[in-house]
Amino acid sequence: MQKFTAHTGLVAPMDRENVDTDAIIPKQFLKSIRKTGFGPNLFDEWRYLDHGEPGQDPASRKPNPDFVLNQARYLGASVLLARKNFGCGSSREHAPWALDQYGFRCVIAPSFADIFFNNCFKNGLLPIVLPESAVDALFNETLAFPGYALTIDLERQVVVRPQGEEIAFEVQAFRKFCLLNGFDDIGLTLRQADAIRNFEAQRLTQKPWLARSMVG
């Protein structure tokens, strides 16, 4: 998992409440058994005018010119600004995969659905909860100033606006540790690889029959 320490990125405003995971990555794209390739289909039903299916060449699609991510001023955005209850709906882990693979490193909103919020941390995406008044101010500034960018400093737990003003945010200590070090659940387990190997070796010494394969 990619580490998150500090990141400066262009902000894209998603000015909708209750954006659910089916909007983030529609159900037909969940057929894939891979964890990659979801970025081109992020917000697919809003992003394109035609219906999308897995395996389509994005270059052959019809982009919706009114959708925020298709507007030239937001191309390359890596910080998503959202409204309350972002990520509601089903618990698909594909939603943070799609956001990450599009290029977003952080989502800022007044509130998130619980399962989506947890899935973000497990996949290297930082969800930041800020007061609604602060999010309103960030929306206003993003819309007013093309090229509006924010710096997210996870170590110091602050969002830094272009003029230098800092907005503090909370993050649970263990989640912060994992993001700073790039540890997902597998990475955390592999930190104990030597202890696991020693345990397995000792167990096989004590119970050698466990090494035998079952014959049907």
* Percent of the chain topping pLDDT 70: 92
Write the CA distances from 161 to 141, 149, 155, integer angstroms.
Answer: 10, 7, 16
Could you tell me where the beta strands, DSSP code E, fall in 56-181? 79-82, 106-109, 126-129, 149-153, 158-160, 166-168
pTM equals 0.88
Tens-digit pLDDT profile for residues 27-72: 999 887 778 899 999 999 999 999 999 989 999 999 999 999 999 9
The whole-number pLDDT of residue 37 equals 92
The whole-number pLDDT of residue 213 equals 52
Superfamily of the domain at 6-182: Aconitase, domain 4 (3.20.19.10)
Contact assessment for residue 126 and residue 4, using Cβ atoms and an 8 Å cutoff: yes
Tens-digit pLDDT profile for residues 67-113: 999 999 999 999 999 999 999 998 889 999 999 999 999 999 999 99
Residue type for 210, please? L
Residue 83 to residue 23: CA distance in whole angstroms: 14
The whole-number pLDDT of residue 35 equals 81
Contact assessment for residue 154 and residue 127, using Cβ atoms and an 8 Å cutoff: no
Residue 18 to residue 50: CA distance in whole angstroms: 23
